[in-house]
Amino acid sequence: MINKYPSRYSPNKEVTAAQYIIELICEKKARFDKTELPMKFWQLEVWQDFFKRNLRKVHSLLKQFEAKSIINALNLPEYNNSYSVFTERFMGLVKQEQARLKQKSSISSIPNPTNRRTINSKPREPKVKENIINKLKDLDGTIN
């Protein structure tokens, strides 16, 4: 299953998780360099090398971690003044987010048991649908 995310730099387009993560990383680098990212910035010579290099790294990260944990790590306040996904610090944040997401999903996947003794219920009465065969049986005098 490939997750689709709305692209920030291709109007009305959806992108894969890897492309979305790269857009976030490039935004952080642009903020760090005090520049603006134009639409379709990856086509500009200035950004092509950075985009491709980070894309390879993000693909390798996505083999190890969920996209949501990488995106969450990029948005953490501890990562505000950084843009490199090649650091040990970033890997630590991603591992921390992955563990948090797994813990959250394991808690939510435990079903609440139903206490049947507290429910006052009766079995449903069977519904007999009126059809031609039932009408013929009624005319014939036979019982269903």
- The end-to-end CA distance of the chain, in Å, is 51
Taking phi first (over 0 means left), then psi (-120 to 50 degrees means alpha), and beta for anything else, what does residue 6 get? beta
Residue 111 has pLDDT above 70, yes or no: no
Q: Determine what percent of the chain is predicted with pLDDT higher than 70.
A: 85
46 compared with 122, residue with greater pLDDT: 46
64 compared with 129, residue with greater pLDDT: 64
pLDDT of residue 110: 62
75, two tokens: 């948005």
Which residue ranges make up each domain of the chain? Answer: 5-108
Residue 137 in contact with residue 121, Cβ under 8 Å?
A: no
Residue 133 in contact with residue 144, Cβ under 8 Å?
A: no
113, two tokens: 């048991």
- Residue 75, CA distances (Å) to 49, 69, 83, 97, 138 in order: 23, 10, 11, 11, 72
82 compared with 112, residue with greater pLDDT: 82
pLDDT of residue 1: 45
pLDDT of residue 127: 82
Cα 126 from Cα 98, distance rounded (Å): 50
pTM over 0.85: no
- Spatial CB neighbours of 100, under 8 Å, sequence gap ≥ 6: 69, 72
Cα 71 from Cα 79, distance rounded (Å): 11
Please compute the mean of the pLDDT values over residues 9-35 and round it to a whole number: 87
Q: Which helix (H) or strand (E) holds 15?
A: strand 14-15
74, two tokens: 């990029």
